[in-house]
Amino acid sequence: MSTGIERLSQVFERSAERGKKALIPYLTAGDPDLETTGQLLLAARAGGADIIELGVPFSDPMADGPVLQWAAERALKTGANLKGILSMAAAFGEQADTPLILFGYYNPFFRYGLEALAADAAAAGICGVLCVDLPPEEAGPFHSALSSQGLALVPLLTPTSDASRVAMAQKIASSFGYYVSTTGVTGAKLTQHANIAERVREIRAQFGLPLVVGFGIRTPDDARSVAQWADGVVVGSALVDLVHKTEAGKKANSVESFLHSLSEAV
């Protein structure tokens, strides 16, 4: 049976063989509730998702823009927590093989227990974790816990990451890295494509693993542009906003349709 790290690596290998790039949607777990999120995971898979990021709601999401902050607030009000999210992920894994990544902040992970989280996440079929506020120089214990279960710790890189920061990220990376295309909060508009493209190429040359780009991708045109120079395209705020604004009963269809349009573009 493949490890989470291997499953993630295989996504990028298969995408490259097809001349495509990985489509990676983000969904806030528990918004509007965990049962609906489970349905949206299946819709995302049907829409062409190659990897899905499951946002773990947190009360102080400092890197998130308003859309994701509000989604986290709604999810917390419904009682969404890591135990419930892992249970939902396990149920999804019984129906589909699309790799899932937990995307969140260090506090909930630490409170759960790093070793316990790694073991329970692996048992639930999670492939890796992206921790927004954990710098690579402090990631040793979490990296060790995840690695012992065959799970990836996905590092974040930014426009201000110099060669030494990229080297530190490289040490903890195992399958891919996540490049934040703006230095603001999530949901900002994607601008200055040429500058982003140049920076991504520079980092990819040093990093040596696939690099996906997120923050600010809203349309098929955005996705098409980013796919020219990145190994994967992440869509978060635009999708979470769509889920919130679509009436109950139609959310899954809307997610599938929106992601299909992005999948065609990458």
Task: Kindly state the percentage of the chain with pLDDT values over 70.
Answer: 95
Domain residue ranges of the chain, discontinuous segments joined by +: 4-259
CATH code, 4-259 = 3.20.20.70
pLDDT tens profile 10-20: 999 999 999 99
Q: Which residues contact 225 (CB under 8 A, 6 or more apart)?
A: 190, 193
More confident residue, 16 or 185: 16
Statement: residue 103 has pLDDT above 70: yes
- The rounded mean pLDDT for the chain is 94
Ramachandran area for residue 253 (φ above 0: left; ψ -120 to 50: alpha; else beta): alpha
pLDDT the model gives residue 187: 46
Tell me which of 6, 31, 35, 64 is the catalytic residue: 64
Mean pLDDT of 113-132: 98
Statement: residue 186 has pLDDT above 70: no
The pTM score is 0.94
Task: Respond yes or no: is residue 256 known to be catalytic.
Answer: no
8-state DSSP, 153: E
Tell me which of 31, 50, 53, 231 is the catalytic residue: 53
Give the 3-state secondary structure of residue 63.
coil
CA 184 to chain centroid: 17
Q: Classify strands 100-104 and 52-55 as parallel, antiparallel or unpaired.
A: parallel
pLDDT the model gives residue 6: 98
pLDDT the model gives residue 185: 46
What's the distance, Cα to Cα, between the start and end of the chain in Å? 29
Task: Respond yes or no: is residue 115 known to be catalytic.
Answer: no
Q: Mean pLDDT lowest for which of 81-95, 108-122, 134-148, 213-227?
A: 213-227
Tokens representing 88?
Answer: 């939902």
